[in-house]
Amino acid sequence: MNDMRIAERDVSTSETKIAARGVQVHYGTTHALKDVDIDILNGNVTAFIGPSGCGKSTFLRCLNRMNDTIAAAKVTGSIKLDGEDIYDAKVDPVQLRAKVGMVFQKPNPFPKSIYDNVAYGPKIHGLTRSKAELDNVVETSLKKAALWNEVKDRLHSPGTGLSGGQQQRLCIARAVATSPEVLLMDEPCSALDPIATAQVEELIDELRGQFAVVIVTHSMQQAARVSQKTAFFHLGNLVEFGETGQIFTNPRDPRTESYISGRIG
């Protein structure tokens, strides 16, 4: 169990970034998420774990209102970002998503060049003032996503021509380039080899200096390695939420216990 270096990093007791209370999601008649209360802290990495289909992605999509694009999805309860309800009529979901970036479960590069994929967010939001500045943003984002060395000679070839794992890192770079305040990552390492995974984990750790990071993962080791807080979902319920060290060494709920031990015991 030497890769279970359980968070030697302390939970910074900084302020709450996102506060979710009583969140319920229905897809038509399916009750996908039941009464979830969670606080996402600034400067922390929060990991969501749980068996497939338990609602991790669904909850993640609530946090930047991506569920708006699914006609059948109905979200109730309150989710506050910096104390402001994001489902309030006054909040523009477009602005919200610029602040709460997302890396999706399946890599989805745009049918554009690698460069344009990464430059997409900065261009839309007018984050850079000159071409040189934009070049710089693209380069640092690709470096952060551990992709720069592989693509620096072909920035203008299509992003869809990359391998699956490279595409996943391209999507990470794309999200990072927009400099969000919160970064939601849905299984960002599912198609990556151990080296790239380590690099992305390094990135996640680095990012939490600036953003709050939420990561969904099926790898217990990864959750233990990168996160300070862990939430365990089961059948649409948030079963247990606490400090990562406590969840992995001393879970309170028997379901958490059996899930964790089933995987890493």
Partner 1 sequence: MPVLWIALIVLAAAAIAYVLARRSALASAQGDVRRMHSLPSYYGWHAFILTALPALLLMLAWLIFQPLFIENRIASQLPAEATATATSQQLAMRDVRSVADGLQAAISSGAITPEEMEAFTNDPSTLRARLGEAGVALGGNVTSETLEAAQNFRALASTMNLTMTVLVIGVALAGAAIALKQVRPDFWARNAVERTVMGLLIFASAIAIFTTISIVFSMVFETMNFFRQYPWQSFFFGTTWSPVFHGNSQLGIVPLLWGTLYISFIALLVAVPIGLFAAIYLSEYASNRVRSFAKPLIEVLAGIPTIVYGLFALVTVGPLLRDYFAQPLGLGSSGTSVMTAGLVMGVMIIPFVSSLSDDIINSVPQSLRDGSLGLGATKSETIRQVVLPAALPGIVGAVLLAASRAIGETMIVVLGAGAAARLGLNPFEAMTTITVKIVSQLTGDTDFNSPETLVAFALGLTLFVITLGLNIFALYIVRKYREQYE
Instruction: Name the residue type at position 254.
Output: P
Main-chain dihedrals φ then ψ at residue 43, nearest 5 degrees:
70, 15
* Separation CA 179–CA 94 (nearest Å): 15
Q: What, of partner 1, Mg ion, ligand ATP, none, does residue 169 touch, CB below 5 to 8 Å by kind?
A: none
70 near ligand ATP, rule: CB under 6 A = yes
Site for partner 1 in 122-141 (CB under 8 A): 124-125
Half-sphere CA count of 17, side-chain side, radius 13 A: 23
DSSP secondary structure code for residue 158 in this structure: B
Q: What, of Mg ion, partner 1, ligand ATP, none, does residue 55 touch, CB below 5 to 8 Å by kind?
A: ligand ATP
Q: Whose CA is closest to 125, among 96, 164, 147, 157?
A: 96
Least separation in angstroms between CB 52 and Mg ion: 7
Residue with tokens 């995974």: 197
Helix 131-144 vs helix 164-177: angle between axes, to the nearest 10 degrees? Answer: 130
From the list 20, 49, 54, 172, which residue makes contact with ligand ATP (rule: CB under 6 A)? 54
From the list 41, 66, 75, 182, which residue makes contact with partner 1 (rule: CB under 8 A)? 66
The residues, ordered by sequence, that sit 6+ positions from 133 with a Cβ below 8 Å of its Cβ are none
Q: What, of partner 1, Mg ion, ligand ATP, none, does residue 54 touch, CB below 5 to 8 Å by kind?
A: ligand ATP
From the list 10, 94, 154, 252, which residue makes contact with partner 1 (rule: CB under 8 A)? 94
- Strands 182-186, 212-216: pairing is parallel
From the list 42, 108, 190, 221, which residue makes contact with partner 1 (rule: CB under 8 A)? 108
55 near ligand ATP, rule: CB under 6 A = yes
58 near ligand ATP, rule: CB under 6 A = yes
Nearer to ligand ATP, 147 or 171 (CB): 171
Nearer to partner 1, 106 or 152 (CB): 106
57 near Mg ion, rule: CB under 5 A = yes
The total of other beta-carbon atoms located within 10 Å of residue 219's CB is 18
64 near ligand ATP, rule: CB under 6 A = no
Least separation in angstroms between CB 234 and partner 1: 26
Enclosing H/E stretch for 125 = helix 114-125
Query: Would you call 132 exposed, middle or buried from its count of C-beta atoms within 10 A (0-12, 13-18, 19+)?
Result: exposed
Binding residues (CB under 5 A) for Mg ion: these are 57, 105
